[in-house]
Amino acid sequence: MTIYDIAQEAGVSASTVSRVINKKKGVNKNNRILVETLLKKYNFEPNASARGLVQQSTKIIGIVMSDIRTAHHAEGAYFMEQELKNYGYNCIIINSGFSDATREESIRTLFSRRVEAIVLVGSTFQSETMKKAILEYLGDLPVIIENGYIDLPNVYGVLTDEEHGIADCVRLLYAKGKRHMAFINRGDTPSNNLKILGFQNALKGFPDCEDPPVLRLNTDEDEWDESYAATRRLMEEHPATDSIIYATDFLAIAGIQALKDAGYAIPGQVAVVGVDNSVYARISSPRLTSLDNKLEQLSITCSDILVKVLRGEKVANKMMIFSNIAERETT
């Protein structure tokens, strides 16, 4: 019998059970009675770790990523880890994978390691499943979502306004004389869906633009190969296409290679825009125009908000950071 088993049977979070064990305030009277009854029923003897969940400061923060191979998220975790170190915190970084079961296990693991707060990196954590996991396992433990948000009192979201950022990219391409735009996306995530929304809504303001094709890649496949193949397929099926926006810079540089191999001049025949303003944008040939979603600012803001919450300061649960376009040679 573990603290999680008691929590599950009582229908409360593990941190609530920990508070009852440590005789802390802030627990509903009925919940306290129920937990105490179960503790007595099972002769539960908490170990030192369970007692320490609420009692002591560990100065440890948990950071969870779905896929540590994603350069954008890995770099964001680096910025957060460096900023939190300035405040005297150490970080445990976990690669959770994309399944609900492995993500839930990651949260349980971090809670058992007595982290003081958890950062979830990426909008893929913005889900009902994750909301239930936070309620079940974390209780009132502070949670920050980088570029996502869940409506819970202990959850704080710092987001990039990618919807309006992509709309700005559409307006840039239109100003360059492009009228046959396309969008190549990656995965069904809240962030990517907002990018598509920004793309489609912006084009409604330009009636002389054709109905644009939107291609969504299969995230289970190799991103480079998929983006390369999707770009070739797009140009075969929609040969009038004169500009393409890609959901990430990495997809965009694969697309640039596909366009070059097919003999297209960039940006003369086809302009290209990526998202992230990553190192890929700066080293591609030609150099890639990219939507700068302010990764470093986003990550540092997440860290700063987290520290304020841990200090007991009042902060807004949701904050927006605005992006801008870094224009280079592909537009």
Q: Read off the CATH number of the domain in which 254 is found.
A: 3.40.50.2300
Cα–Cα distance between 100 and 128 in angstroms, integer?
10
Domain carrying residue 120: 58-160+294-323
Residues 143 and 211 in one domain: no
Higher-confidence position of 202 and 139: 202
Let me know: does 64 contact 57? Beta carbons within 8 Å. no
Count Cα atoms within 13 angstroms, Cβ side, for 72.
23
Let me know: does 286 contact 256? Beta carbons within 8 Å. yes
% of the chain at pLDDT higher than 90? 65
Secondary structure E strands in the chain: 60-65, 90-95, 117-121, 143-146, 155-160, 181-186, 214-217, 243-246, 271-275, 289-292, 318-321, 324-326
pLDDT at position 147 over 80: yes
Summarised one tens digit per residue, pLDDT across range 299-312 is 999 999 999 999 88
Cis peptide before 142 (omega within 30 of 0): no
Please tell me whether residue 67 adopts helix, strand or coil conformation: coil
Question: What's the whole-model pTM score?
Answer: 0.82
Please tell me the total count of domains within the chain: 3
> Of 46-60, 89-103, 167-181, 266-280, where does mean pLDDT reach its minimum?
46-60
Summarised one tens digit per residue, pLDDT across range 306-331 is 999 998 899 999 999 999 999 999 99
For residue 330, is it within any domain?
no
Contacts of 220 (CB under 8 A, 6+ apart): none
Supply the pLDDT for residue 231: 97
pLDDT at position 219 over 70: no
C-alpha angle 6-59-63 in degrees, rounded to nearest 5: 75
Cα–Cα distance between 52 and 50 in angstroms, integer?
5
CATH number (domain holding residue 46)? 1.10.260.40
Cis peptide before 153 (omega within 30 of 0): no
Residues 156 and 299 in one domain: yes
Cα–Cα distance between 324 and 329 in angstroms, integer?
16
Supply the pLDDT for residue 220: 58
Supply the pLDDT for residue 16: 81
Residues 282 and 181 in one domain: yes
Residues 166 and 286 in one domain: yes
Residues 137 and 226 in one domain: no
For residue 329, is it within any domain?
no
Residues 93 and 194 in one domain: no
Supply the pLDDT for residue 46: 62
What value does the CA radius of gyration of the chain take, rounded to a whole number of Å?
23
For residue 71, is it within any domain?
yes
Last residue of a domain, one of 56, 74, 90: 56
